[in-house]
Amino acid sequence: MYNRGIRGATTVTRNEEAEILQETAVLLKEIVARNEIEPEDICSVWITVTADLDATFPARAIRVLKGWELVPLMCSTEIPVKGSLPMCIRLLIQVNTNKSQREMKHVYLNEAKSLRPDLAASGS
């Protein structure tokens, strides 16, 4: 069994608690569905947000999902690079799996599709 990383990102239109929580949950659920993983397979989830998102901790959206109560979660702020995509939430999920690195399906939603058009276009 290997420890693999799965990336994902999404954006919101407003710095509002409800939208941040909703879009975080949508992103996580899409990553889980595309990769056919269970919370028990997850080692940890690293969550970053751009500095313009401070209305809530995105981890709150994950913590309330059934089966995710014990998965280690960590939130942080992205490096403030000039010209980077604003209003962005990113996830890095570390998962125990027998799948190869190439089999990991990364998910980019909303405006975050521009971060990795090569992966967003293929549905990977």
Report, as residue numbers or ranges, the catalytic residues: 7, 63, 75, 78, 90, 108, 116
Amino acid at 87: M
Could you give the CA distance from residue 49 to residue 51 in angstroms, rounded to a whole number?
Answer: 6
Residue with tokens 């967003």: 120
The reply, when asked if residue 14 is annotated as ligand binding, is: no
Choose among 7, 75, 24: nearest CA to 47. Answer: 75
The reply, when asked if residue 108 is annotated as ligand binding, is: yes
The reply, when asked if residue 2 is annotated as ligand binding, is: no
Feature table: binding site for prephenate: 7, 90, 108
Feature table: binding site: 7, 90, 108
